[in-house]
Amino acid sequence: MTPLSLVDEKSSTITPSFRAGSGSPVVLLHGITMSWRAWKPVLPFLTGRHDVFAPTLAGHRGGPDLPSDAPPGVTSVVDTLCDQLDEAGIESAHLVGNSLGGWVALELARRGRARSVIGLSPAGTWRARRDLVRLIWMFRAGHMAIGSPHLSWMARNPLLRGMALSQMIAHPGRVPEDEVAELLADFENCALFAALLDGTAALHHLAEFDVALCPVKIAWGQKDRLIPYNRYGRPMRETVRGAEFTMLPGVGHVPMYDDPRLVARTILETTTSVDAAYQVPERPTSRRRSA
């Protein structure tokens, strides 16, 4: 398989996913307001060992529309992702998720689709309601600061680029200029994020997760300013009891740009160990569950 380009020049549409490599399947799941392109720095380190599929989630720029028959939220994203995996011919895979993607990976594992889960600063837990409100207001403030119409000019100014990305990435200068423009465009065109801001999104705490379903590793960015470990990671320990927890030094909430080699190594440590003992399970009779 060959990597898909950012834009299909023939149709002038945004490519909704990436697929390349060979080996056991790995599915990469991005955070809210982002797209599969957030994984671009890590892809070269994974495709030599795995069949890598990075879809853009429902309600995000270039991804499927959110279902019209259910409130926008994690459940509707997971429902659609089950269909995306079916279309890609993936029964089960190592699920790697950042932020919202980590939460989605855990929910997908409940449906029998995971060989392992690696969560990078996964969302879904908080100490108190005020911590959830804080997070929503941070996103709202970011949206107001960035503005709406056309923001590509920000990518050319190092100071403004750093300010725009500093909550997400510990080292904004490591993000290429053209990628900043794409990140900002993803941020501007996220239907799920819009539903979060206007209050129509279904919000709930991650339910307790049984690690007997599959091996789980949670890796938190040591410099995560968006959902710092003490306020959001410690409650995750209580919700995903028995998971392996580790801190990633020198990286922020979206570590793929900060240190792609460290992220790839963190992923491969788990996938290599699990693959050594993995046996293909019997296909479940039903993988989709209604909200």
114-120 vs 216-221, strand pairing mode: parallel
Task: Write the CA distances from 207 to 9, 110, 226, 240, 291, integer angstroms.
Answer: 43, 11, 21, 9, 14
Whether 3 has a pLDDT exceeding 60, the answer reads no
Backbone angles phi and psi of 167, in degrees to 5: -70, -25
For the chain, the structural domain boundaries read 7-277
- Which comes out higher in pLDDT, residue 10 or 284? 284
Biggest CA-to-CA distance, the chain: 53
Backbone angles phi and psi of 217, in degrees to 5: -120, 130
- Report pLDDT digits (tens) over 89-115: 999 999 999 999 999 999 999 999 999
C-alpha distance across the termini of the chain, in Å: 35
7-277: CATH topology = Rossmann fold (3.40.50)
Whether 5 has a pLDDT exceeding 50, the answer reads no
93-98 vs 50-55, strand pairing mode: unpaired
- Report pLDDT digits (tens) over 221-264: 999 999 999 999 999 999 999 999 999 999 999 999 999 999 99
- Report pLDDT digits (tens) over 62-81: 999 998 888 888 999 999 99
Return the pLDDT at 144: 54
pLDDT band at 155 (very low <50, low <70, confident <90, very high): low
Catalytic site residues?
Answer: 99, 224, 253
- Single-letter residue type at 272: T
Please state, rounded to an integer, the average pLDDT across all residues of the chain. 84
Backbone angles phi and psi of 12, in degrees to 5: 55, 35
Return the pLDDT at 141: 60
CB atoms within 10 A of CB 164: 23
Return the pLDDT at 56: 98
3-12, 66-75, 120-129, 213-222: segment of lowest average pLDDT: 3-12
- Single-letter residue type at 172: P
Global pTM value: 0.86
